[in-house]
Amino acid sequence: MAVLAASASAPPNSRRQRPPRQRSTQSTRRQTRAAYLLITPFLIVFVAMLIVPLFYSGYLSLFATQLIGGQEFVGLANYLQALTDPSFLGGLGRVGLFLLIQVPIMLVLALFFALALDSSRVRGSKAARLAIFVPYAVPGVVATLMWGYLYGNDFGPIAQTFRAIGIDAPNLLANDNILGSMMNIVTWEFVGYNMIIMYAALRTIPTELFDAAEVDGASEWRVAWSIKIPAIRPAIMLTVIFSIIGSFQLFNEPNLLYRLAPNVIGNDFTPNQYAYTVAFVNQDVPYAAAIAFLLGLVIMVVSYVVQLSTQRKENLS
């Protein structure tokens, strides 16, 4: 908002130049005031709904609560307990694995689709774009019902196909396969979403670059590799960061698949699901808050490391 207000004041043709430093202080002040006024509603909600609860949760996480005896200040004991809690660490390991395997697959697929649609070689690209994006718009409950049916061991079409050709059907909802099955669902759900982000970025690349490449005789692949992908790097980074957060925060899919394979998923499949169980089943809100904070810390560290490493690459090139 503040940026918008400032740039709108500059004459359109001088957008690339820095605004003159000396200005009428009175108008600057007025603009600043207007800007703050405009963002006030957001700030109020932001502070009331995010900042205050965040601090309150942080405060809560320093207590221990008992059904008999109430709350007691324990400092960082909850955090120490979480660091040795096999349920929390197991969940982190699972989402870590999820991140390492599923995110690259999903993003490469998304990038491939985005490039394919952008190359305008695909006939009916609008329909294809919609088809790839539609799963993102399917409500989670419906998606799980659908996948539950597809994965079902007794009546699912996948199992039946296997049996029809005389091979033992793999139980897609068993201990060893559930993470893979979940990766599949999440990929199906979010490929379209990531594709749209990348596709939108691709559409903003100036066409002169392609004309120049064509004159130089570059192939479509070469154009994609040397022009398009580098040009949309910020968009790709955005999807990477979103996916990291999304993976660590995995909750909906395990929570919904729980109905199909309750004993396989359990109540601590992912850290978020575990925090939910701790808060609402075990009724230990402070410990759940501590788990949530630790998870947030992990997400921040991982995201920061990823960002840092790509920045360094950019600096080197």
Partner 1 sequence: MRTTARRTALSLGTIVVTAGLLLTGCTSPGSSTTDKTTVSQADIDKALDTPTKLTFWTWVPDIENEVALFEKKYPKIDVEVVNVGNGADEYTKLRTALKAGKGAPDVAQIEYQYLSSFRLTDSLADLTPYGAADLSDEYVEWVWNQVQTEDGSVWAIPQDSGPLGNLYRSDILAQAGITEAPTTWAQYAEDAATIKAATGSYISNMPGNDPGQMVGLFWQAGAKPFGYDGDKTVKVDIASDETKKVVDYWNDLIQKDLVSVDPDFNDSFYQSLASGKYAGWVTAAWAPVFLQGTAANTSGKWTAAKIPQWNEGDDVSGNWGGSSDVVLKTSENPIAAYELAKFINNDPESTLKFATDQFLFPTKTDTLADPAFVDQEAEFYGGQKVNELFAGVSDTVDVSFEWLPFMDYVYSSYNETLGKAIADKTDLSTALQAWDDEVTAYAKKQGFTVE
Task: Give the sign of the dihedral formed by CA 190, CA 239, CA 310, CA 225.
Answer: positive
Q: Does 90 bind partner 1 (CB under 8 A)?
A: no
**Which of 54, 84, 87, 94 has its CA nearest to residue 250?**
94
Nearer to partner 1, 118 or 189 (CB): 189
Among positions 278-317, residues that touch partner 1 (CB under 8 A) are 279-283, 285-286, 288-289, 292-293, 295-296, 299-300, 303
3-state secondary structure 218-239: CCHHHHHHHHHHHHCHHHHHHH
- Closer by beta carbon to partner 1, 57 or else 184: 57
Among 262, 313, 316, 317, binds partner 1 (CB under 8 A): 262
Based on the shown chain and the rule CB under 8 A, indicate whether residue 159 belongs to the binding site for partner 1.
no
Interhelix angle 285-316/52-60, rounded to 10 degrees, is 120
Span near partner 1 by CB under 8 A; candidates 98-106, 122-130, 148-156, 222-230:
148-156
Q: What is the DSSP string of 157-204?
A: HHHHHHHHTT-PPP-TTSTTTHHHHHHHHHHHHHHHHHHHHHHHHHHT
- Indicate whether 73 belongs to the interface with partner 1 (CB under 8 A): no
| Residue 8 to residue 291: CA distance in whole angstroms | 45
Q: How many residues bind partner 1 (CB under 8 A)?
A: 62
Q: Which stretch, 17-25, 28-36, 121-129, 249-257, contacts partner 1 (CB under 8 A)?
A: 249-257
Give the rounded distance of the alpha carbon of 26 from its chain centre.
43
Q: Is 208 in the site for partner 1 (CB under 8 A)?
A: no
Give yes or no for residue 42 binding partner 1 (CB under 8 A): no
CA distance 190 to 196: 10
CB 118, min distance to partner 1, A: 22
What gap in Å lies between CA 67 and CA 74, rounded to an integer?
16
Q: Which residues contribute to the site for partner 1 (CB under 8 A)?
A: 49-50, 53-54, 56-57, 60, 66-70, 145, 148-149, 152-155, 175, 186, 189-190, 193, 241-242, 245-246, 248-253, 259-264, 266-267, 272, 275-277, 279-283, 285-286, 288-289, 292-293, 295-296, 299-300, 303
